[in-house]
Structure 1
């Protein structure tokens, strides 16, 4: 079904996951309210008509799904909640600085991806697919290399 249709809960879903999903959906509801330009009265009207509740805090999973599905029919698309903190850009920036400091033989994209593969033990086709923890490891390695390259320039 749609993104906000009925869910199938599995035996391995935990209360923590359910709470995180609830918070995320409530956040999307409030994003939608702002994006659609609803006043407080408009918001309460839609909640009451769709779910019979006057507050999103009182909604169960099905109610939240109804509200979000209704908002999506009105043109609301939730913004992506995950943002990788600009880590791919920071990795590229550090790589460029390392090249400027004379710490690289090859400053190409293929060399950067090869370095990432050696550092993480896993190859990636693009930095945007690099998980946050691995990206942090690469960033720290590049910082260390940059410090060493700058130290050799001073000597």
Structure 2
């Protein structure tokens, strides 16, 4: 369901829907005012509607493999993954950042503090690129 909600928010941004139009669409299509209130069927209806009005989902890039983090790093790694997905960047981008920032070849090899710094760098990049993280 998280992936579906992410797609809805990406589509909203790519279609340039303002907040009022977006909430009205959610109400008309699924009977809710917020995407967090969608059930699976409602989310699928919204995705179908967004596709009908012109949104074209991008296929996932198959470049780079998703790291397998240690248990204490799972939440941070999920946040890094979300930031990469939102930016449309592959895991190889994060691996390159890890090598550049810490001289560590793979994201999965970063210490907790290094991974947190990598996440912060991705957040700064998102803000610099004008992407809305909220």
The TM-score, its normalising length taken from structure 2, stands at 0.46
- Which structure has the bigger radius of gyration? 1
Q: Normalised by the size of structure 1, how large is the TM-score? A: 0.40
